Amino acid sequence: MGFKDILEKIGEKSRQKREMLNQMSEQLRLQRLAEERQMSSNERELRKFQREDREELIKEQLNKMRKRRQRDIQFGHNPLSIPNITNHVDWEVLRNKNLFSNGKMTINEGDGNVLKNNPKLMHNNRRLFRV
């Protein structure tokens, strides 16, 4: 079974579906036509006005729902209450005081400067910073 056969089967299935839909819509149209012919002209006119009123109500309700949804999209969310990195965090690092806020590179108060207290840094014959 080749690619061409698969495409033909898919095309055949879609053709069958289209034919069935066309037959069903034709049957519904004929049924509606037969029902309308059995009604009097006044009854047909009344149904027409009822259909128009119903469509008008549907349109009004749909517009209300669209406006409500649009209002919810525009104003329904509060960006301040959304969990983010500053106010709803699970990381311990962000809950602690800033370790480097005093301008020194210290980790603990008693340790002093990170660069001073590491003997391996100064005696490896390398520069710490490239200039």
Question: Alpha helices of 1-131 — where are they, by DSSP H?
Answer: 3-38, 41-75, 92-95, 119-122
Higher pLDDT, 77 or 64: 64
Sort residue 112 into left (φ over 0), alpha (ψ -120 to 50) or beta. Answer: left
Percentage of the residues of the chain whose pLDDT score is greater than 90 = 43
Residue with tokens 């990195």: 85
Q: pLDDT band at 29, cuts 50/70/90?
A: very high
Both tokens of 36, joined, read 């309308």
Give the rounded percent of residues in the chain with a pLDDT score beyond 70: 57
Residue 86 pLDDT exceeds 70: no
Q: pTM for the full model?
A: 0.45
